[in-house]
Amino acid sequence: MWAALLAVAFYSQAFAETTQPAALASGFDLPGAIAAAAPGQEISVPPGVYPSIVIDRPLALRAQPGAILDAQGLGDVVRITAPDVTISGFTIRGTGQSVDRENAGVAATAPRATIENNRLEDVLFGIVIAGAPASVVANNTIVGKDLDLGRRGDAIRLWQSPDTVVENNTVRQSRDVVVWYSSRAVLRGNSVVECRYGLHSMYTDACVMEDNRLERNSVGIFMMYSQDLEARRNVIADNRGPSGFGIGLKDVDGVLLEDNLIAGNRVGINLDTSPVRGDIHHHHTRNIIAFNDVGVAFMPAVRNNHFQDNAFVENIEDVAILGGGAFEGQNSFTVDGRGNYWSAYRGFDLDADAIGDIEHRSDGLFENLIDREPKLRYFLYSPAQQAIDLAARSFPVVAPRPKLVDTAPWMSPPMPAPTPPGRAMSGPFAIIALALAGTGMAVATLAGNSLGATLAASGRSKA
């Protein structure tokens, strides 16, 4: 009997030592301070390790350096059930691993939550904003649990939380940053690396995604079942998962893509039933689409997409038509006399107006065959490809219908897309940005001047 009592006492003491927050020894009781706080009160939390907390009244928790909230592998770390709560400056760690319960570092279910300047680590889900409109998620670093991609939770999830701002967060080793049923959300200045979807929006209208950096994910941005979306000044690079889209559009109406750098992906922009309505037109302007396997991929029925002032640079295939069926072709690559820059363009500019004097056409037979049978990519750059394209040029009767015609191609690329504030472009993408405006313009100008001089001299000799 005494042995049993001693064992119970021993394990009770051990449990207390591992679950009681270290700060309690110094006399600060965080759950008690929350329970005693007046509405709107600000609580400064001293250094120490604290257990999971529930915030059920409007207040602000501001951490002093060294304040840690640790769930020790059980459930959520912070749950916010009252409106107008701020939590700032903490290290938040150690959620449970229940995907169905969505164990999160911070879970907010009331309006106007502000989660800022925190570091979340070893968390299944990072920050979940559910039924909490007009919230702010800013300047947080979120590192997920060391799990296989399929077992991870979302770094940031918005659910039925319109008018929320997600800004300047750094995310890695998580699953997705998702925005569902949360119209007028703004996602700005975030860095998402080594996840599944960098940014994923569904049933979310009037959403703005700008100045984000999305690299080495499966997909950069995926927009679905929404309308009036804008994506601008994003760096979307090296997203090479099974689909590998830089930007994917699925059943969306009213999209503006401008000033993005889309480089090194399997598919730069993938268009699937977007726009849905026949009276909607999408405009894609001043994007650099470079070094992708495919620059822009269309499903055959896609129409009303207009490309102007973009730079298509050294993609294996600039434009691809995926799937069966006839390509509608109601898409344009020249808008109001302004086309795009194509590194594959072989024209000239005799009148020196910076626009090619002959149109740019994509009508290679081998490219068309690849679109129908992707396995033929194995023969890219091989003698087989060269023979097929030579035969098509020599015997135009077998020439395919052009996938695109740009009647006003630029001789030099537009200015490179800006780098998101505070983040320097790295590796080959800095080279792209510097080289496009400089060497492209110089080469095109020299080639045009040389050809013009040659033709002029030829004319004088004939006279």
Asked if residue 295 has pLDDT above 60, the reply is yes
Asked if residue 190 has pLDDT above 60, the reply is yes
Alpha-carbon gap, residue 263 to 242, rounded angstroms: 17
Asked if residue 381 has pLDDT above 70, the reply is no
Tens digits of residue pLDDT in 328-364: 668 999 999 999 999 988 888 888 888 888 998 876 6
Instruction: Give the confidence band of 462 by pLDDT, cuts at 50, 70, 90.
Output: very low
* Measured CA distances, 459 to 206, 347, 353, 453, 463 (Å): 58, 20, 21, 10, 6
Burial of residue 307 (number of CB atoms within 10 Å: 0-12, 13-18, 19+): buried
The average pLDDT across 166-190 equals: 96
**φ, ψ of residue 432 in degrees (nearest 5):** -55, -50
Contact of 316 with 326, CB cutoff 8 Å: no
Model confidence, pTM: 0.81
Asked if residue 463 has pLDDT above 60, the reply is no
Residue with tokens 């250094």: 47
Identify the pLDDT of residue 109. Answer: 97
Which of 75-89, 360-374, 436-450 has the weakest average pLDDT? 436-450
Asked if residue 209 has pLDDT above 50, the reply is yes
Alpha-carbon gap, residue 111 to 131, rounded angstroms: 7
The average pLDDT across 101-117 equals: 96
The average pLDDT across 90-109 equals: 94
Identify the pLDDT of residue 117. Answer: 98
Average pLDDT value over all residues in the chain: 83
Residue 427 CB contacts under 8 Å (≥ 6 apart), including other chains: none
Q: What percent of the chain has pLDDT over 90?
A: 62
Instruction: Give the confidence band of 5 by pLDDT, cuts at 50, 70, 90.
Output: very low
Asked if residue 22 has pLDDT above 50, the reply is no
Helix (H) or strand (E) run with residue 366 in it: helix 365-372
Both structure tokens of 257: 């893509």
First to last CA, the chain: 122
Asked if residue 11 has pLDDT above 50, the reply is no
* Closest by Cα among 319, 352, 350, 355 to 337: 355
Alpha-carbon gap, residue 246 to 58, rounded angstroms: 40
Alpha-carbon gap, residue 157 to 456, rounded angstroms: 64
Which of 208-212, 234-238, 337-341, 398-402 has the weakest average pLDDT? 398-402
Identify the pLDDT of residue 443. Answer: 39
